[in-house]
Chains A and B, each alone.
Chain A
Amino acid sequence: MFADYLDLALRSFRRSKALTALVVLLMGCGVATCMVTFAVFRATAADPIPWKSNQLFVPQIDNFGPAQNWKGEPPNLLSYTDATVLLHARQARRQVLIYGSKWTVMPGDAQHLPSSQEGDAVSHDFFAMFDVPFRYGGGWSASDDDQRAAVVVISSALNQKLFGGADSVGREINLDTHAYRIVGVLDNWNPSPRFFDVSSTWYPFSHPRQLYLPFSRAIDLQKAASTNFYCSTNSVDPYLPNWDSILHSECAWIAAWVELPTRADVERYRGWLHNYAAEQQRVGRFAWPPNVRLSDVGQWLDVMKVVPKASALSMIVSASFLLICLVNVVGLMLARFMRRAPEIGVRRALGASRGAIYRQFLVEAAAIGLAGGVLGLLLTALGMAGIGHVFEPEIARLATLDASLLLLTVLVAVAASLVAALYPTWRAAQVQPAWQLKSNG
């Protein structure tokens, strides 16, 4: 029966080539535009650490106060004072502090020129908290943090550049004219969006940094942050004459994360944060009631507005485009099906049930959808190739045409065609056998 309907559909395609081609073209264009923008949207709105994203939290403490903060929201980063309290309080399973700076890698010989590398100063829990994969070695220990040890973890890219990809654990590199012992080499690690330091870098779609050094050591070296550093959202930064005044200032520049495995842990931590802020109010540091936040990865990416405006905007536009194509297809299918009213009348008169008419025309619609989907696939592939012209290379690189997207393209095309065919099919099924025979007999 199904094969029969398919045969009928193919015959009808042959009879009205132009109309069929138009419908298929519309479906193809609509679906392809949606898929290309969806591929970008999917990449930018992805969960970078799905197995753990509801256990990792960013604490925020309002040390700016209502007069200096942004619309009542606490700053996105912590002051050194709050960050170190949080680190040493050990109220969570793991806690990590992060700030970024640039380090000069000095070559071992005189032939090569020094190069500047971005590095994150992190506390030792960083690697375990974010499940950072290692190719060689591992992270450093809590005691390395306490002793401000001169240890470093380097990326696989930097290891390739400096040591030709060999196991470099135990070897030394020279950063800012100090010697550091390499304790670990990362495997390929590129969480997208780069969520863990998005509040310091503002730009979540670049590669992670090349160097990771102990937070305590960077502070000791008075290594200034190259990342976001702000002291209020609406007035002049205070005069900070030296490093000590930076550490004791209320400026925000350190990103903090805590790992809280259970819901109870989250509630307990929220309470602790609140109490800490209340305590700061009691001792007179804050002149305002506690204003704290605790956001998991998803919430934090929302707060930081990680999905680029261009991506969300193009998603909306292409969805509207598909909708308009669909309205168009409804009209064209109506035209196709009603043109065949005599044929339907004959079939009904010969004993075909309404259900049979439904099935016949829905199969035809699905076949159109399938054709549209295949065209959509071709256009999607074409669109993915041209995506670099529309989006920044860092974002375009993330959008990939994989099996799930291919399947989705065809599924959307078929589903959309079926939805578009519902009304025309209903109208077709309403055709009265006798009336058609009479007027066209």
Chain B
Amino acid sequence: MTMQIRPILAALRRHKMATLLIVLQIALTLAVVSNALFIVKTRVLHLSRPTGTDEAHLFVIKNGWIGQPDVPHIDAQMRADLVTLRSLPGVHNAFASEAYPMQEGGGGLVRIKHQVAQTTKAQLALSYFADEHALDTFGTALVAGRNFRADEIVSLGPYDASRPAVIIITRDLAHKLFPDGAAVGQRVYLSDDGPSTIIGMVDRLQGSYAGSSTRSIDEDTVLVPARYASSDDGASYAGGTVYLVRAQPGQLAAVLRAAPAALVAQNRMRVISPEDGVVTLEQARTKAYATDRGVAIMMGAVCVLLLLATAGGIVGLSSFWVGQRRRSIGVRRALGATRGDILRYFQTENALIVGIGVVLGVALGIAANLSLMTHYELPRMPLWVLGVGALLLWLLGQLAVFGPARSAAAVPPVEATRSV
């Protein structure tokens, strides 16, 4: 093997441009493919995150109120609606909130402090209004502490400040707030007016922004015990009240139709949009991650095309190369080189060219990743992605050159005597 490198280099020196083109192509391909694969990986990881809920059986009804009724009226109506929903055949449980997982907005943003006069940065988290039925509706189990009691659920209007006496938080948030110890039983401040005691901790529950830009706190969720009476159908981003309903297994399709009809039958002074007023969590997932899925598909397709193009390029240039060197191959064969020697010569040559391309491509790939990091807030690409890309290209090169190399090996020694 080592014996061959010197003649290879000598030969390449005579074909500077063609060599340069393959090297450039390998380098660019590695830079693009590694970055594209990395983007695919981050997007796929992002869109396959679980919400921590019983997604298959959950749906929401987005309910708007007509004519700006006052808070006591809405609260009374919400209680009546919840009774109606929970007593509906096929419904496992239901509760009222102002947002739902994968809504891409809607939920409240809270800042949690250990003390009122805290100088360090408050911990950001996303909140849902909830009641004692919320955990059972989500299908999320407590891992520590207790659930809300019915008497802890307060009525809140749009102009009321939320200062819950008790809250339930996710394990992720608990760990961020109290990295060294148990969070349940601790007191934190959601507002400056008074402390909230953490009474329970759930394993996992995603906030309502997933799919958008709050990635770092998507798992940091606070459940606030309140029925929130949005005064009209426009006071919050989502508008009005969001009923989360969990159907019994096999009953989802039936309940999807029956639940909004039951609410309208109970009271007509509401708006439930026929287009998007009732949404299953599966539909919400499809919508929330549409862009992620799209980008992943697109990048994947480009990678495949790119690798095919590069392989095509190597096949084309190598066969040209072989064609140009038929006579010298014949001379080598006549001087005693075996077919295997010729085959190895071209395989080694390709490995060498791809190797140079890979070195250049690693540098280009890192540079591209750095610029994507600043412009598109992508995370840093781990080096192993480049390693995988390099290995892929190297294998591809060997595979692509195999055909032309075999036809080179098939050149008979007698070729040396021809056309001189």
Please give the residue numbers on chain A whose beta carbons come within 8 Å of chain B beta carbons, in ascending order: 19, 22, 25-26, 29-30, 33, 101-104, 106, 113-116, 176-177, 222-226, 235-236, 239-242, 308-310, 312-314, 317-318, 320-321, 323-325, 327-328, 330-332, 334-336, 338-339, 389-392, 423, 427, 440
CB pair A22 B312 closer than 8 Å: yes
Main secondary structure of the interface of A (DSSP, over half): helix
Contact sample, A vs B, 10 pairs, CB 8 Å cutoff: A26-B309, A103-B234, A115-B271, A176-B66, A176-B68, A224-B234, A309-B376, A328-B316, A334-B18, A338-B320
Known: A324-B32, A327-B21, A331-B18. A176 touches B67 (CB 8 A): yes
The answer on a CB contact under 8 Å between B323 and A339 is yes
Q: Is B39 an interface residue (CB 8 A)?
A: yes
Report Cα–Cα, A339/B326, bound state, in Å. Answer: 12
Contact A328 B291 (CB under 8 A): no
Chain B residues with CB below 8 A from A327, complex form: 21, 24-25, 28, 313
Instruction: Let me know if A19 and B25 touch, CB within 8 A.
Output: no
B172: CB under 8 A from chain A?
Answer: no
Assess whether A102 is in contact with B64, with CB atoms less than 8 Å apart: yes
Q: Is the interface of B mostly helix, strand, loop or mixed?
A: helix
B79 at the interface (CB under 8 A from A): no
Contact indicator A106/B66 (Cβ below 8 Å): yes
Selected interface stretch from B1-9, B217-225, B296-304: B296-304
Check B391 for interface membership: any CB of A closer than 8 A. no
Are A390 and B32 interface neighbours, CB within 8 A?
no
Which A residues are CB-close (under 8 A) to B21? 327-328, 330-331, 334
Q: Known: A29-B305, A324-B28, A440-B419. Is A101-B234 also a contact (CB below 8 A)?
A: yes
Verify if B398 is at the interface (C-beta below 8 Å from A): no
B236 at the interface (CB under 8 A from A): yes
In the complex where A310-B291, A390-B297 touch, is A224 in contact with B158 (Cβ < 8 A)?
yes
| B233 in contact with A104 (CB, 8 Å) | yes
> A224-B234, A324-B309 are known contacts. Are A331 and B64 too (CB-CB below 8 A)?
no
Chain A residues with CB below 8 A from B31, complex form: 320
Interface: B215 (CB within 8 A): no
**B317–A332 touching, CB < 8 Å:** yes
- Once the chains are docked, how many angstroms separate the CA of A312 from the CA of B295? 11
A328 contacts across to B, CB distance below 8 A: 21, 25, 309-310, 312-313, 316
Residue of A nearest to B236 (CB): A226
A residues near B49, Cβ cutoff 8 Å: none
> 1/0 per residue B297-337: CB within 8 Å of A?
11100100110011011011101110110000000000000
Report Cα–Cα, A114/B232, bound state, in Å. 14
Contact of B67 among A104, A115, A308, A391 (CB under 8 A): A104
Report which of B110, B290, B309 forms a contact with A392, defined as CB distance below 8 A.
B290
B32 contacts across to A, CB distance below 8 A:
317, 320-321, 324
Q: In whole angstroms, what is the CA distance A330 to B17 when docked?
A: 10
Partner of B291, one of A101, A116, A392, A440: A392
Q: Does any Cβ of A come within 8 Å of B36's Cβ?
A: yes
* Contact status A331-B66, CB under 8 Å: no
Contact surface of B with A, Cβ cutoff 8 Å: 17-18, 21-22, 24-25, 28-29, 31-32, 36, 39, 64, 66-68, 110-111, 122, 158-159, 161, 191-192, 231-237, 239, 264, 268-274, 290-291, 294-295, 297-299, 302, 305-306, 309-310, 312-313, 315-317, 319-321, 323-324, 372, 376, 419
Which A residues are in CB contact (< 8 Å) with B271?
104, 113-116
When C-beta atoms are compared, the residue in chain A nearest to B22 turns out to be: A331
How far, in angstroms, from A391 to B290 measured CA to CA in the complex?
Answer: 7
B22 to chain A, nearest CB (A): 7
Chain B: which residue is nearest A323 at the CB level?
B28
Bound complex: CA A364 to CA B239 (Å): 63
Given the interface contacts A324-B32, A390-B295, does A226 sit within 8 Å of B234 by beta carbon?
yes
Q: Which residue of A lies closest to B291 (CB)?
A: A310
A113 near B264: Cβ-Cβ < 8 Å? yes
Q: In the assembled complex, which residues on chain A have CB atoms less than 8 Å from the CB atom of B161?
A: 239
B-chain residues with CB within 8 Å of residue A25 when the two chains form the complex: 312
Rounded to whole Å, the gap between the CB of A24 and the closest CB of chain B is 11
Distance to closest chain A CB from B163 (angstroms): 10
Q: Is the CB of B111 within 8 A of A236?
A: yes
Task: Report the Cα distance A139→B98, complex, angstroms.
Answer: 35
Q: Which residues of B contact A115 (CB under 8 A)?
A: 271, 273-274
The residue that A389 contacts in the complex, of B231, B294, B319, B321, with Cβ under 8 A, is B294
Residues in A whose Cβ lies below 8 Å from that of B323? 339
- The closest CB in chain A to the CB of B270 belongs to A114
Q: A22-B315, A321-B306, A332-B316 are in contact. List 11 more A-B contacts (CB 8 A).
A: A29-B309, A224-B234, A226-B236, A310-B294, A317-B299, A323-B28, A324-B28, A324-B309, A331-B18, A336-B320, A339-B323
